[in-house]
Amino acid sequence: MAVPNKGRLHDRTVDLLMKSGLDLGEDWGRKLYVTAKNQDIEIVFVRAQDIPEFINSGAVDLGITGQDQIANSGCKLEEVLELGFGHCRLSVAVPESSKIKTVDDIKDGCRIATSFPKITKRFFDAKGKKVNIIEVSGAAEIMPYMGVSDIIVDLVSSGSTLKMNRLVEIETLVQSQAVVVTSKKALSKSKSGIMDMVNSIRSVIEAESKKYLMADVPTKKLDEIVKLFPGLAGPTVMNISGRDDMVAIHVVIEKNDVYEAVNTLQKLGAKGILTLPIDRLVQ
């Protein structure tokens, strides 16, 4: 499995793998590859932009990278899980003072600085425009200021870097987030191993948006409370020994609903309300 060795996707990717149950050992941070201590899986730490090619060539079976990198590579790969982080878009941006307001205004010979030369070329080829692509490995935003290019194709998330460099977006080539990606070939060879990994990561992501809530509630309010918590399969209701005026409920709820749920339960006479994090959730 290939994992970004640095950059924006690195920290959260490693966090997800560890929470999914992979034991990378103690000094994984200084290594280029590690063999998980508890599973038959080897992790290689490489650049996010190289991962699509490595999967395509069969050097690795799966990886985590941005959809922008997959799109740029042009490789036909299988995106098996969206990870909900690393959101950004690859956009055409022009200086605020430029006469170019839409892609149609871009003339043949226009100089475009980008770290995404392949997808940029395909995009402008498809529009029949003969542009001059200048490949840079970063800091594309300052290229118009330096006179290196007229416009850029670059990643945008909040848009503040563009603003700081007096650039405006005129069109988006691709929307992106981090994904687990594999290939048809790898799936045909080791589908169950790959899907075990994917399902583990999915269960961590699902669990992170939820909380486990426990409370002792008045028996006479139980019907009302059950309706409030449709939960995954409704609350689990348990007797409390020696009490017939109270029962215990356990339920999985959305993190965002915790505030209201606790207040409502309190108003209905609940006692001993606890909320706990969930490590993994397999539905």
Reported residue count of the chain is: 283
91 vs 203 by CB, closer to ligand AMP: 91
Q: Nearer Cβ to ligand AMP, position 88 or 194? A: 88
CB of 79 to ligand AMP, least distance (A): 13
- The answer to the question of residue 66 lying near ligand AMP (CB under 6 A) is yes
Of 57, 102, 157, 172, which one interacts with ligand AMP (CB under 6 A)? 157
> Of residues 48, 110, 119, 217, which one binds ligand AMP by CB under 6 A?
48
Does 12 bind ligand AMP (CB under 6 A)? Our answer is no
Q: Which is nearer to ligand AMP, 141 or 216 (CB)?
A: 141
- The least CB distance from residue 5 to ligand AMP, in Å, is 9
Of 12 and 280, nearer to ligand AMP (C-beta) is 12
172 binds ligand AMP per the rule CB under 6 A: no
Please tell me whether residue 25 binds ligand AMP under the rule CB under 6 A. Answer: no
**Binding residue for ligand AMP (CB under 6 A) from 88, 140, 201, 247?**
88
CB of 208: closest distance to ligand AMP in angstroms?
Answer: 19
Min. distance of Cβ 135 from ligand AMP in angstroms? 15
For residue 158, what are the β-bridge partners?
Answer: none
In this complex, which beta carbon is closest to ligand AMP, that of residue 156 or of residue 237? 156
Which is closer to ligand AMP, CB of 86 or CB of 144? 86
Residue 137 or residue 283: which is nearer to ligand AMP going by CB? Answer: 137
Distance, in Å, from the CA atom of 112 to the CA atom of 131, rounded to the nearest integer, reads 7
Could you say whether residue 204 binds ligand AMP (CB under 6 A)? no
Q: Does 52 bind ligand AMP (CB under 6 A)?
A: no
Q: Which residues contact 172 (CB under 8 A, 6 or more apart)?
A: 89, 90, 91, 92
Whole-angstrom distance, CA of residue 195 vs CA of residue 177: 20
Phi, psi of 68, rounded to the nearest 5 degrees: -60, -40
Considering only 38-46, 50-58, 65-73, 199-207, which stretch makes contact with ligand AMP by CB under 6 A?
65-73
- Dihedrals φ, ψ of 133, to 5°? -90, 125
Backbone angles phi, psi at 69, to 5 degrees: -70, -35
**What's the number of CA atoms in the CB half-sphere (13 Å) around residue 156?**
26
Please tell me whether residue 207 binds ligand AMP under the rule CB under 6 A: no
By the criterion CB under 6 A, which residues form the site for ligand AMP?
4, 7-9, 48, 66, 68-69, 86, 88, 155, 157, 176
